[in-house]
Amino acid sequence: MENTTTVDRAVAIKARNICKTFQISEDSHNTVKHRLFNLFNPPKTKYVPALKTMSMEIMQGECIGLLGRNGSGKSTLVKLLAGVYSTDSGYINVTGSTMLMNLGVGMSHELTARENVYVSGSVLGLKIKEIDAIFDEIIEFAELEGFVDTKIKFFSSGMVARLGFSIAVKAGADIMFLDEIFAVGDAKFQEKAIKVFESSWIKGRTVILVSHSMDVIRQYCSRAAFMKQGELVYFGDTEVAISKYIEDNQ
């Protein structure tokens, strides 16, 4: 990308020729017994090309918007870049810890809120002392003061989502993948969430934002990508990407 502002920045994510095809077999051939009995009758496998070959480079501190209609491969791309899925070809180089946020965040329902904060914080690369320091802030931001030692399986889905969001905001990985996160919590919490974005939180962090809200993308993203049927159609100027997306929706 011939973007002059990114010249002096280091690369946060470098992806070269990545692609992803999902194999979906029609009957569940996932036991030894099944495999033996159907040795000469291989299962019918459907190949779903979720992501066609693409390359991209994201610099540190950038906020990138991802646009595209449902099923265009946005979530698959995000999971590939976050290192959750493995790529079929090419390579992805990531500098730093990553965190993926969508409707659920990496939390165990068997653990209490306190334990989840510590586990998630630690997975995100914080030391125990650092988590101690921000623990109260996280609980306060999530509005869960009375439920610190309650297992989160007894939480409502809103409470879980709020806790996840608070951890992400306060602990935060170097690279954040935010997949439709503005749907979390009630109006009051959403307001708080948006305020976080307006504050300096986003500065110095690499953020990849998946959203169907044009306003959000336009406001925060320096560059945006538009995807269609698993293909990266355009990656560059935010306004151009948005206009291509709106065109596609017509």
Partner 1 sequence: MLQVLNNWFIRSNKSERLWLLAKIEFKLRYYENKLGLFWALLKPIVDVTIYYIVFKTILSSDVPAFASYIFIGLILWNFFVESTSGTVQILNTKKYLYEYSNMNKLEIYISTLLSNSIGFFFNLLMFIIFYNLIEPASNGMNLNSIWIIVLFLNLFILSLGVSLILSCLYIIAKDVTQIWQVFTTFLFFLSPIFYKHSLFKEALPAFEFGNPIAGIIINARRVLMQGVNPNYELLWFDILYALILFFIGLILLNKLGSKAAEKL
Size of the site for partner 1 (CB under 8 A): 36
The binding track of 143-182 with respect to partner 1, each residue x by CB under 8 A or -, is ------------------------------x---------
- The answer to whether residue 110 forms part of the interface with partner 1 (CB under 8 A) is yes
CA 128 to chain centre: 24
Neighbours of 83 (CB within 10 A): 15
250 lines the binding site for partner 1 (CB under 8 A): no
81, 9, 7, 211 alpha-carbon torsion, rounded to 10°: 40
Does residue 57 belong to the site contacting partner 1 (CB under 8 A)? no
Q: Does residue 117 contact residue 135 with C-beta atoms inside 8 Å?
A: yes
Among 83, 90, 180, 219, binds partner 1 (CB under 8 A): 83
Instruction: Tell how far CA 222 is from the center of its chain.
Output: 18
Contact between 120 and 105 under an 8 Å Cβ cutoff? The reply is: yes
What tokens does 53 get?
Answer: 């070959």
Q: Which residues of 34-50 are buried (b: 16+ CB within 10 A; e: fewer)?
A: eeeeeeeeeeeeeeeeb
Please pick, from the candidates 51, 64, 99, 221, the single residue that binds partner 1 as defined by CB under 8 A.
99
195 binds partner 1, rule: CB under 8 A: no
Q: Which is nearer to partner 1, 180 or 248 (CB)?
A: 180
What part of residues 1-40 is at the interface with partner 1 (CB under 8 A)?
Answer: 22, 30-33, 35
Beta partners for residue 223, in sequence order:
64, 237
Minimal distance in Å, beta carbon 134 to partner 1?
14
Stretch of residues binding partner 1 (CB under 8 A), selected from 37-45, 119-127, 154-162, 218-226: 119-127
Binding region for partner 1 (CB under 8 A): 22, 30-33, 35, 79, 82-86, 94, 97-101, 104-108, 110-111, 115, 118-119, 122-128, 173
